[in-house]
Amino acid sequence: MSMQRLSAVGSRACAVAALTAGALLLAGCASGPEKDVTAGWSPNKLYAEAMGERNAGNFDKAIAYFEKLEGRAAGTPLAQQAQLEKAYAHYKNGEQAQAIATLDRFMRVHPASPALDYALYLKGLVNFNDSLGLFGFISQQDLSERDQKAAKDSFEAFKELVERFPDSRYAPDARQRMTYIVNALAQYEVHVARYYYRRGAYLAAINRAQTALQDYRNVPALEEALYLLMKSYEALGMEEQARDARRVLDANFPNSVFLTRGLQRDSGPWWKLW
């Protein structure tokens, strides 16, 4: 190869190396820290922008703004409000665990906050909505167990709210939701008892029906619980226990529809969600 050609190849190699180095330098600059557009904002402006993003459904951005506001307005009522709004944004973004963690922290750090009733209400609401899988049990799923912790946690939050703040604006709705939860939990036990009964697991059906009867009072599901108890005892040839269950059923539900139609179909919804 001639010296002239070697020189040309060397020049091209140097040019490629220079371009590569330049690209790497630009990439390094591009990957540097992004400018914080909120740096010059006042706490009030930051709150307004965060609420605007939240109301527009941009929850990730809203959460980031509320977190900045918590730090900048630390020790002020605005920081407390930011924490509650962040919990709500997590809730609306489908991030139940983060919402609960934020609310628990708020209640631990601010036990005397005038917004404590709202924090309890929101905690109940987060768990309530997280329990809709449980409350949607009237679907035709073959199930035997399902976690009821969220429903019970929701009930406890609403219960604390109405006991500590009976005149709160959130108390009436909390009481309605408590009633719904109790009815749903009882109906769930009966649903599982029905599941076992239809599969011939009569002892398991008896146990779940008895759980509903022991743990709940004055709820619609107890009518079917007594019927399932009676039929399960009959299937096991336990005639005396079956007669006892029938007497209780007649005394409490003298016109029980289950005695005429049996379990031809699942019970329909007994509560209208709002």
Q: Answer yes or no: is 131 within a domain.
A: no
- 106 vs 136: which has the higher pLDDT: 106
161 in a structural domain: no
Please give the residue that has the higher pLDDT: either 264 or 156. 156
Instruction: Give residue-wise pLDDT tens across range 219-264.
Output: 999 999 999 999 999 999 999 999 999 999 999 999 999 998 887 5
| Residue whose C-alpha is closest to residue 187's, from 243, 156, 146 | 146
pLDDT at 201 over 60: yes
**Which DSSP symbol is given to 188?**
H
Mean pLDDT value across residues 31-46: 81
* Residue 155 pLDDT class (50, 70, 90 cuts): very high
Higher pLDDT, 177 or 23: 177
CATH number at residue 60: 1.25.40.10
- Average pLDDT of the residues of the chain: 84
Q: Model confidence over 96-125: pLDDT tens digits?
A: 999 999 999 999 999 999 999 999 999 999
Q: How many domains does the chain have?
A: 1
Query: How distant, in Å, are the alpha carbons of 9, 53, 121, 124, 261 from that of 181?
Result: 80, 33, 14, 11, 27
pLDDT band at 131 (very low <50, low <70, confident <90, very high): low
Q: Rounded to whole angstroms, how far apart are CA atoms 95 and 208?
A: 33
The average pLDDT across 22-32 equals 49
Does a structural domain hold residue 121? no
In 103-186, beta strands by DSSP E:
none
Domain assignment present for residue 156? The answer is no
Q: Look at residue 190 and tell me if it is in a domain.
A: no
- Lowest mean pLDDT of 15-19, 88-92, 141-145, 189-193, name the range: 141-145
Residue 100 lies inside a defined structural domain of this protein: yes
> Does residue 133 fall inside a structural domain?
no
How far, in Å, CA of 270 to CA of 267, rounded? 8
Residue 223 belongs to a domain: no
pLDDT (average), residues 4-15:
47
34 vs 184, higher pLDDT: 184
**Domain range enclosing 60:** 42-113
Identify the band that residue 40 occupies on the pLDDT scale cut at 50, 70 and 90.
confident
